[in-house]
Amino acid sequence: MTGTRPWDTLRSVVRFGRIETDPVERRLARAASVEDLRRLARRRLPGGVFDYIDGGAEDERTLANNSAAFARIQFRPRVLREVGDVDPSTTLLGRPLPYPLVLAPTGYTRVADPQGELAVARSAERAQLPYTLSTMATRSIEDVAAVSNGRKWFQVYTFRDRGLVKDMISRAAESGYEAIMPTVDLAVLGQRDRDVRRGFTMPPKLGLGTLLDGAIHPGWTWAFARSEPIKFANVAHHVAHQGGGSGGSAPASMAAYASMKFDPNLSWRDIEWMRSIWDGPMIIKGIQSVEDAVLAVHHVADVSRRADHREHDVALRRDRGRRIGPRRAGGEQAVGLAPRSRRHLGPEAPLDQVAAHARAHQPGADPAHRGPLRGHRLHERPR
């Protein structure tokens, strides 16, 4: 027995931290993962709005497959590698980046919060990360430029009316945007089942269901009711002029809007056209196969007017299947294999050689097609 009294023991462990008075900060401080943030969003937003953000297309099979594929990706841990001074910084489009992250475009952002794209652009600037403004944003190219001096990219949907596309690209250039990002996987829209079931429109229709949902999410409802009407800020003037929902405040489903306005005949010729009217870097969003990545390099780089734009990397992305229905698991293979092939063949190897290598080494490929590379082991390059 020692002479320690219980009060002393208690005093040595009890610490009262500063009480956070801002409820948002308090909740965020306790969010340990993206899943926690998702749960917060589900609690705060009406069901239709949450599902617009969270849902996938066509039975959500790609959403499930791709989430499972991400979960299967594992690191191969190495030990005793002096990790006391880790530097995640890198470069992107020839400029430094504190860590490899870019904020992707989201349309209709003000449906989640009245600040919408302005808040995201400000946060991106604080974190020194590029922010991509969507064509279908609810804050305009100019409004975002007015609040952020950070790196800004402009995502381009190809409207049937190319005059409108050209106009937006010029506005982005005048407002100091660094790059344009044509989205190429939305020429045809997959059906988003949750939106159909809920009859979700933009802006949200005020039916009985919405009113009830709004009543149980008072924080969102109060903010929504007090802010100015939501519109597609980059195209509103044009849509109002042409007629058609959602430019101003007439409700329309995104699917109806997109099929009315976006051009399903989008082709590599349009990419070359954009290349010819835009002098800066161009990032193609939505490529999901090595074959298309090779074509992208051909169509974008070869017609580039500035030699420095011929240096590039093509990123294959893997998403949650938000807009496109079931696809082959090819994206997974390409994402996994193209970087390995690049490491194997070295930084100077031309992309079509990397693509051929990735194709030949993907699971199930005929070994006879592996050619001279057969038997090579993909190994780590020395530090």
Told to check if 41 binds ligand FMN by CB under 6 A, we report no
> Which one among 53, 101, 127, 260 touches ligand FMN, defined by CB under 6 A?
53
> Which one among 48, 107, 116, 247 touches ligand FMN, defined by CB under 6 A?
107
Told to check if 136 binds ligand FMN by CB under 6 A, we report yes
> Which one among 134, 201, 210, 341 touches ligand FMN, defined by CB under 6 A?
134
> Which one among 319, 344, 356, 360 touches ligand FMN, defined by CB under 6 A?
319
Nearer to ligand FMN, 47 or 353 (CB): 47
Stretch that binds ligand FMN, among 41-49, 103-111, 145-153, 192-200 (CB under 6 A): 103-111
Query: Minimal CA–CA distance to 220: which of 108, 112, 110, 107?
Result: 112
Q: Of these residues, 217, 238, 299, 309, which one is catalytic?
A: 309
Catalytic (active site) residue 309: yes
Told to check if 187 binds ligand FMN by CB under 6 A, we report no
Site for ligand FMN in 322-381 (CB under 6 A): 322
Told to check if 138 binds ligand FMN by CB under 6 A, we report no
Rounded CA-CA distance 293/295 in Å is: 5
Q: To the nearest whole angstrom, how small is the minimum distance from the Cβ of residue 68 to ligand FMN? A: 13
Q: To the nearest whole angstrom, how small is the minimum distance from the Cβ of residue 136 to ligand FMN? A: 4
Told to check if 171 binds ligand FMN by CB under 6 A, we report no
Told to check if 183 binds ligand FMN by CB under 6 A, we report yes
Q: To the nearest whole angstrom, how small is the minimum distance from the Cβ of residue 53 to ligand FMN? A: 4
Could you give the residue numbers annotated as active site?
Answer: 309
The residue ranges that bind ligand FMN (CB under 6 A) are 53, 104-107, 134, 136, 155, 183, 285, 319-320, 322
